[in-house]
Amino acid sequence: MPHRSVVVAGCGPVGLLTALGLAEAGVDVTVLEAMPRITAAPHDMVYPWAVLPGIERLGLLEDMRRAGLTVREWCFKVLRTGERIVFDLDTLADEVAHPYQLHLPQHLLTDIVTKRLNAISHARVEWGTSLTGLRQDGHGVTVTTKGADGARTIRAGWLVGADGAHSQVRRALGLGFAGLTWPMRFVSTDLRFDLSTLGFSETGYQLDLEHGALVARADRSGLWRYVYAESRALPDETIPDRLPAVFKSVLPEGADPLLEGWSAYRVHERVAERFRVGRVMLAGDAAHVTNPTGAHGLACGLFDAFVLTEALAAVVHGQADDAVLDRYARERRRVFLDSASPLSSESMRLVFHADSEPWLDKEIARYRSVAVDPELRRDHLLLSGDMRSTSVL
Q: What is the DSSP string of 272-317?
A: ES-SEETTEEE-GGGTEE--STTSHHHHHHHHHHHHHHHHHHHHHT
CA distance 120 to 80: 53
Number of H helices, E strands in the chain: 11, 20
Strand partners, 179: 270
Per-residue burial over 179-188, b = 16 or more CB atoms within 10 Å of its CB, e = otherwise? eeebebbbbb
Helix (H) / strand (E) containing 358: helix 357-372
What is each CA distance from 176 to 22, 127, 133, 265, in whole angstroms? 28, 28, 17, 21
| Burial zone of 121 (CB within 10 Å; 0-12 exposed, 13-18 middle, 19+ buried) | exposed
Helix (H) / strand (E) containing 87: strand 84-88
Helix (H) / strand (E) containing 8: strand 5-9
Predicted model pTM: 0.95
Per-residue DSSP letter, 62:
H
Phi, psi angle pair for 63, to nearest 5°: -65, -40
How do the pLDDT tens digits run along the chain, 393 residues long? 566 899 999 999 999 999 999 999 999 999 999 998 887 666 789 999 999 999 999 999 999 999 999 999 999 999 999 999 999 999 999 999 999 999 999 989 999 999 999 999 999 999 999 999 999 999 999 999 999 889 999 999 999 999 999 999 999 999 999 999 999 999 999 999 999 988 889 999 999 999 999 999 998 888 999 999 999 999 999 999 999 999 998 888 888 899 998 999 999 999 999 999 999 999 999 999 999 898 899 999 999 999 999 999 999 999 999 999 999 999 999 999 999 999 999 999 999 999 899 999 999 999 999 999 999 999 999 999 999 999 999
